[in-house]
Amino acid sequence: MNRKIPLGLLLLAAAPVVASGPRGTVPKASANRYPSHAEKDGVSVGAALLTSDEVHKTFVSEVNRCCLVVEVAFYPAKDKPQAVSLDDFSVRVVGAETAVKPSSAKVVAASIQKSAESQRDITVSPSVGVGRESGTYHGTYTEVGVAIGVSEHGSHSGSSERDRDTMSTELSEKGLPEGTASAPVAGYLYFPLTKKKNTPLQLDCVLNGNRVSLTLP
């Protein structure tokens, strides 16, 4: 029997698994293209804190409801693969002692869904009508009305279970890929924080066992 056929089938079967995994974003040409960057033992890291507008444009999921988004890019040294893990990152307000670890895509999606579930919309629709009737009963009439509609809990976008799965997929696929990187990788990290104006944040990450701090403007 030809051995090429089972191998081909195996590759075909494995292709969707590889394709559906996290992909992250396309890393920029070098770490210094990011607003914050550092280098340690030949490994470079670049980071950028996304503004609320940028988050809105980048994601269909309403990540602004719960989290700050930081784009991180890793540039491993040549021939020295670098392990990338979410546990190696944390964000803190500059000067503060407590730090926050990034949340996984599933946790963020659940948080957004919970927020969407509790949201209710009230719609106010005024209407004006003028009419004229003729025949046995005739005359003119006018009518003025206001309709008020209150949406039900769970009717908002992002509140269904299916939406939660979709958001989880989006956040996972755009998130920083974890694993061993032998080439530059980039992606987003989601921190369950709200940023106050004029309070700079600090991103801490561990590179080859050494702690590196980047200030996020």
Partner 1 sequence: MDPKDKRDTKPQQKIHVRLGTVSFGLGYSYFSGPYYYPYRVFGFYPYGVAYPALFCDPFGCAYPSLLNPAYSGSLAYAEDKGQVKLTADPKTAEVYIDGGYAGGADQLKTMWLDSGAYDLSLSAKGHKAFHQRIYILSRKSLKVLARLEPEEAPDAAHEKGVKP
Binding site for partner 1 (CB under 8 A): 60-61, 115, 118-136, 147, 149, 155-158, 160, 162-163, 165-167, 169-170, 173
The distance of closest approach from Cβ of residue 42 to partner 1 in the complex, given in angstroms and rounded to an integer, is 33
Distance CA 129, CA 96 (A): 61
Backbone phi and psi for residue 199, each to the nearest 5 degrees, phi listed first: -120, 100
Exposed / middle / buried, residue 174 (Cβ in 10 Å: 0-12, 13-18, 19+)? buried
Query: How far is residue 10 CA from its own chain's centroid?
Result: 33
The distance of closest approach from Cβ of residue 210 to partner 1 in the complex, given in angstroms and rounded to an integer, is 35
The distance of closest approach from Cβ of residue 181 to partner 1 in the complex, given in angstroms and rounded to an integer, is 21
Distance CA 200, CA 210 (A): 22
Say how many C-beta atoms besides its own lie within 10 A of residue 101's C-beta. 14
Q: Which residue number, 104 or 166, has a Cβ lying nearer to partner 1?
A: 166
The distance of closest approach from Cβ of residue 23 to partner 1 in the complex, given in angstroms and rounded to an integer, is 8
Q: Which residue number, 29 or 128, has a Cβ lying nearer to partner 1?
A: 128
Question: What is the amino acid identity at position 49?
Answer: L
Q: Which residue number, 160 or 208, has a Cβ lying nearer to partner 1?
A: 160
DSSP structural state of residue 64? G
Q: Which residue number, 1 or 130, has a Cβ lying nearer to partner 1?
A: 130
